[in-house]
Amino acid sequence: EELSTGTRRSEDEIPNLNRLVTVLKENDFSEDFIREVRNRFREELTLKDAVDLKVFEKKLREFIGERIETSGPIEPGKGKPKVVVLIGPTGVGKTTTIAKLAATYGVLQKHDVELFTIDSYRIAAIEQLGKYAELMQIPFAVINTREEFKNAVSASKAEIIFVDTAGRSQKNSLGLAELRNVLDGVQRNIEIHLVISATSKYRDALDIVSRFSQFAYTNIIITKLDETNTLGPILSVLNREKKLSYVTTGQGVPDDIELADKQKLLDMIDFEMLYVDQPC
């Protein structure tokens, strides 16, 4: 028997729906996301599926998984360098993340890479990245203007140029406009990744994703996965248009970075509340 035949049933007609809501709330998914998933269950689940908690969990994993699209690894440029830019708010770990990527591609995989930074604000960050570049024997340049960026990319013989940027508050409209002006100096073979912390609150994450959209980023890197127990806030803001490329799991360079994996992220969600008070 179908729970729905074109009309949405009331919630008390759907077994275990309260358990679904509890699981999503315990994992800090947003109210909007919970409402969306709840409505999907009310419209699409059969009575048999709603009663069987194992099937119920499988369906819930599928619904959440629909939000997670992964991109696979960064592909080096052929003939001309692939320009990989990391953008994002302050404090999310962009500089360490770009050092991990540079080490992975330049040291471990032996690709020809260069490191740029578009950041004249944070002297400490420039020095930190410069030290990483020196240790890895990777060319390093500080970029201040649109023209410098354009010329440096044009002159490069690297397969990949990794570009760090100054952390900008998503509320700093002027700062975002300045950065965008510099990045607009390069139009081809450029790949922009938004870096966002797994510890972000939902409303902050939503604001970050929205305000940085002016950069037309296609990928998202989730950092600090080791510093949170709940992925709900971040997963709530994802959509399939923006693909997850990498996640970071600590401060180690280059060890604590890995390709985003949908199944691993789903396995971090605690589904145990579905089974509380259930007979063995």
- The CATH architecture that domain 82-260 belongs to is 3-Layer(aba) Sandwich (3.40)
Give pLDDT, residue 13: 59
Consecutive 10-residue averages of pLDDT for the chain (280 residues)? 45 73 94 92 80 88 93 93 96 94 96 91 82 95 95 96 84 83 92 97 93 93 96 90 93 92 95 74
Q: What are phi and psi of 141, to 5 degrees?
A: -140, 140
Give pLDDT, residue 170: 64
Give pLDDT, residue 124: 79
Question: Which segments of the chain belong to CATH 3.40.50.300?
Answer: 82-260
Token duo for residue 251: 């401060």
CB contact burial 35-45 (16+ within 10 A = b; e otherwise): eebbeebbeeb
Cβ neighbours of residue 101 under 8 Å, at least 6 residues apart? Answer: 74, 84, 162, 246, 254, 257
Nearest to 29 by CA among 188, 146, 162, 201: 201
Give pLDDT, residue 169: 67
Distance separating alpha carbons of residues 158 and 156, to the nearest angstrom: 6
What's the one-letter identity of residue 10? S
Give pLDDT, residue 12: 53
Q: CA-CA-CA-CA torsion for 151, 157, 159, 161, nearest 10 degrees? A: -30
Distance separating alpha carbons of residues 82 and 100, to the nearest angstrom: 17
Taking CB atoms within 8 Å and a gap of at least 24, the contacts of 97-100 are 97/195, 97/221, 97/223, 97/246, 97/248, 97/257, 98/129, 98/162, 98/163, 98/164, 99/128, 99/129, 99/132, 99/253, 99/254, 100/248, 100/253, 100/254, 100/255, 100/256, 100/257
